[in-house]
Structure 1
Amino acid sequence: MSARIDAAAPFPANVRAFTTLRHGAGASQAPFDTFNLGNFRAADGDDADVVARNRAELVERFGLPSAPHWLHQVHGIDVVRFDAPALPPPQPSPVNGGGGESGQDENPWRVMHPPPLAGEGWGGGEPVADAAVTSVPGVVLAILTADCLPVVFASKCGDEIAAAHAGWPGLSKGMLEATLAAMRTSASDVLAWIGPAAGPSRYEVGREVFDAFVAHDAGAATCFVPTREGHWLADLPALARRRLVAAGMSAGDIRGGDLCTLSDPARFFSHRRDGRSGRMATIAWLA
């Protein structure tokens, strides 16, 4: 049984990207069975030693060039750049803001250098951020999800990548725009793949979510289908595409978004569906 899905995007040959599946590897017990890679915030009670073994298996099974840089994800819009492989604990290198000359006017998004680190305990020392960027071969980026959008970015020439975690809070606040702004590559020269996430036929949301997007972009209402009073089915991948195109990407350079975590329990963890759930990892690096 396969334990991963490769990114379905025309990335350059040296760009590697995939999302893990819930089965086919790992040793976690139900309801985290079996390839749970979540940290102390995202694992909902799985055994820390088992998760550590699952993460070690991830590196060995898929021949990763180094241990992944795990993040302490908080549904925010902060981005960190890594210029060296992960060490225990990870030590990101200082960077300037991406997207040209640094400055508040050109780049309102924050690229942390170095980022704040999570506290003590399982997952302590992980940078507090929801996206990461690198231009260094062999540096492995990692995003944890179980319904939220995992998005991998790559420059068309293959010299820079990024990976972002975007649930509805981060997506509505500008997580994907922040990631593009943190890259040194112009948005028009970036390719993107949207990995498995809550799909538009199953992801029902309330007024808070609808208003968060429509307040920013009235046209975003087309990504919501009414179900009952004050509730809609939300198309997160479509919302992501709208925001990426508005940020300068070409619609034809954005792929994926057709795999639903909610409707495929055999392959994907889903926090919305199961309550207590493991996490998949979306992994990317430059070979």
Structure 2
Amino acid sequence: MTDASSSLSSLIWADWPAPDHVKACVSTRIGGFSPAPYDSFNMGDHVGDSPANVVKNRARFLHLCRLKRVGQWLTQVHGTQVVEAKDDGKVREGDAVYSHEANLPCVVMTADCLPVLFTDEQGSVVAAAHAGWRGLASGVLEKTVATMGVAPSSVLAWMGPAIGRHQFEVGGEVRREFVEHHPATDQAFQPDYQSRGKYYADLYELARIRLGLIGVHQVFGGGFCTWKDERFYSFRREGTTGRMASMIWIKK
């Protein structure tokens, strides 16, 4: 455990014009209890780390955010299921979660996939979505916005740390999955000229395009790369590794 564990410096706070009572942040790999290769602030209970370490790491994360409620954690399956946050301590299956309730955080975990946090201009609802390429292609962001129950034009989105466009190589079938249904997404793919049939995909740009198509234009963040920045866990870089948590809540 590092000295940063007792400081908010182990967290990254969303830089966006959300209402003051909406709080949003993402953990890094700094400041927890887990040994290598999960060192040290691992939030994932499904990656091989000790369950006791994960419990302590999650408790520290909530403590740093001055939250007393556990919030809604998910078993993520790269789908589009959006669940409502409950204060019963149960982990629910889904890839997005929303809440209208104060001090009840919504949480998603990632280690290269894209976390997207949402609120509206009034801060009446918050949501968090886990978006790998499969979830993006299937419409997890669009479904999350629809479930929030507010006008898309009033929605603000913040994109947390994900793998960068120069590191995320995918096959041609991934590009086709997007472009056949949404031709505008072609601009988010760059051919890998050294590997025939492969492309570099920009998750941030894919999210911006897909959100824009449904009327969400207030999109922020997107300046990270989990593969290059060793503050973050990266599945593609390390294989066996931990998970960051991206969390949003209404503070009252």
TM-score, structure 2 as length reference? 0.93
Partner of 1:47: 50
Partner of 1:132: 97
Is 1:243 aligned to residue 210 of structure 2?
Answer: yes
Q: Using the alignment, how far apart are the partners of 2:45 and 2:214 within structure 1?
A: 31
Q: Using the alignment, how far apart are the partners of 1:65 and 1:156 within structure 2?
A: 25
Q: 1:210-250, CA deviations, whole angstroms, 9 ceiling, x for partnerless residues?
A: 11111111221111111121111110000000000101112
Is the partner of 1:136 in helix, strand or coil?
coil
Partner of 2:237: 273
Which aligned pairs between 1:174-213 and structure 2 lie closer than 5 A?
174-213=139-178
Q: Once superposed, what is the RMSD of the aligned Cα atoms?
A: 1.0
| Displaced runs of 4 or more, over 6 A | none
CA drift of 1:87 comes to 2.5
Which aligned pairs between 1:22-61 and structure 2 lie closer than 5 A?
22-23=29-30, 25-40=31-46, 43=47, 45-61=48-64
TM-score, structure 1 as length reference? 0.82
Q: 1:103-160, CA deviations, whole angstroms, 9 ceiling, x for partnerless residues?
A: xxxxxxxxxxxxxxxxxxxxxxx21110011111111110000000100000101111
Give the aligned residue type for 1:167.
G
Q: Using the alignment, how far apart are the partners of 2:64 and 2:124 within structure 1?
A: 25
Number of residue pairs aligned between Structure 1 and Structure 2: 242
Q: Using the alignment, how far apart are the partners of 2:156 and 2:10 within structure 1?
A: 24
Gaps of 5+ in 2: none
Give the aligned residue type for 2:140.
M
CA drift of 1:282 comes to 0.2
Partner of 1:10: 17
Gaps of 5+ in 1: 91-125
Partner of 1:63: 66
Equivalent pair of 1:155/1:191 in contact (CA under 8 Å): yes
Give the aligned residue type for 2:27.
T
Equivalent pair of 1:65/1:140 in contact (CA under 8 Å): no
Q: 1:73-101, CA deviations, whole angstroms, 9 ceiling, x for partnerless residues?
A: 0000010112x5x233x3xxxxxxxxxxx
Is the partner of 2:92 in helix, strand or coil?
coil
Q: Using the alignment, how far apart are the partners of 2:175 and 2:52 within structure 1?
A: 40
Counterpart among 161, 177, 201 of residue 234 in structure 1: 201
Q: Using the alignment, how far apart are the partners of 1:220 and 1:284 within structure 2?
A: 28
CA drift of 1:164 comes to 0.3
Q: Using the alignment, how far apart are the partners of 1:80 and 1:224 within structure 2?
A: 31
The structure with the greater share of residues assigned to helix is 2
CA drift of 1:49 comes to 1.0
Counterpart among 21, 27, 31 of residue 28 in structure 2: 21
Counterpart among 225, 246, 269 of residue 190 in structure 2: 225
Q: Using the alignment, how far apart are the partners of 1:238 and 1:65 within structure 2?
A: 35
